[in-house]
Amino acid sequence: MGSVLGKILRVNLTTGEVKKEELSNEQAKAFIGGRGLGGKMLADEIPVGIDALSEENKLFFITGPLSGTAAPTGGRYMVVTKSPLNDVIASSNSGGFWGAELKFAGYDMLIVEGKADAPVYISIKDDIVEVKPADHVWGKNTNETTDMLLEEFGDSKARVANIGTAGEQLSRIACIMNDRSRAAGRSGVGAVMGSKNLKAIVVRGSGKVEVAEPEKFKATIKDAMAKIKANGVTGEGLPAYGTAILVNIINEAGIFPTNNFQYGTFAQADEISGEAIAEKYMIKKDPCFRCPIACGRYCEVDGEQGGGPEYETVWAFGSDCGVGDLKSIIKANNACNEVGVDTISAGATIAAAMELYQRGLVKEEELAGGPDLKWGNSEAVIEWVKRMSDKDGFGAKLAMGSARLTESYGAPELSMAVKKLELPAYDPRGLMGHGLNYATANRGGCHVRGYMVSPEILGLPEALDRFSLEGKAEWVKIFQDLTAAIDSSGLCLFTSFALGAQDYADLLTYATGFEYTAESVLEAGDRCNNVERLFNLAEGYTAADDTLPKRFLEESLPEGATKGKVFPLDQLLPKYYEVRGWGADGVPTEDKKKALGL
User: pTM for the whole thing?
Assistant: 0.97
Reported confidence tier of residue 223, pLDDT bands at 50, 70, 90: very high
Mean pLDDT of the 452-469 span: 97
pLDDT per residue as tens digits for the range 10-41: 999 999 999 999 999 999 999 999 999 999 99
Write down the mean pLDDT value for the chain. Answer: 97
Q: What is 459-514 written as a DSSP string?
A: --SS---TT--TTHHHHHHHHHHHHHHHHHHT--GGGGGT--HHHHHHHHHHHHSS
| pLDDT over threshold 90, residue 243 | yes
| pLDDT over threshold 90, residue 316 | yes
Cα dist. 176→78, 85, 173 in Å?
11, 14, 10
Mean pLDDT of the 323-349 span: 98
Please count the other Cβ atoms lying within 10 Å of the Cβ belonging to residue 15: 10
Give the list of residues 6+ apart from residue 499 with CB closer than 8 angstroms, or none: 224, 227, 228
Q: Is the dihedral of CA 362, 365, 371, 375 positive or negative?
A: positive
| pLDDT over threshold 90, residue 310 | yes
Reported confidence tier of residue 390, pLDDT bands at 50, 70, 90: confident
Task: Find residue 246's DSSP bridge partners.
Answer: none
What is the rounded CA–CA span in Å between residue 316 and residue 200?
Answer: 27
pLDDT per residue as tens digits for the range 554-574: 999 999 999 999 999 999 999
| pLDDT over threshold 90, residue 1 | no
| pLDDT over threshold 80, residue 472 | yes
pLDDT given at position 392 = 86
Mean pLDDT of the 282-288 span: 95
pLDDT given at position 584 = 97
Give the list of residues 6+ apart from residue 227 with CB closer than 8 angstroms, or none: 498, 499, 503
What is the rounded CA–CA span in Å between residue 96 and residue 80?
Answer: 17
pLDDT given at position 421 = 98
The answer to whether the CB of 172 falls within 8 A of the CB of 84 is yes
Reported confidence tier of residue 129, pLDDT bands at 50, 70, 90: very high
pLDDT per residue as tens digits for the range 479-512: 999 999 999 999 999 999 999 999 999 999 999 9
By mean pLDDT, which of 8-12, 23-27, 213-217, 219-223 is the weakest?
A: 23-27
Residue from 426, 432, 430, 474 nearest 448 by CA: 426
Reported confidence tier of residue 251, pLDDT bands at 50, 70, 90: very high
Extract long-range pairs of 262-265: CB within 8 Å, 24+ residues apart: 262/355, 263/557, 263/558, 263/559, 263/560, 264/427, 264/429, 264/430, 264/557, 264/559, 264/560, 264/561, 264/562, 264/563, 265/559, 265/560
SS3 readout for 426-451: CCHHHCHHHHHHHHHCCCCCCCCCCC
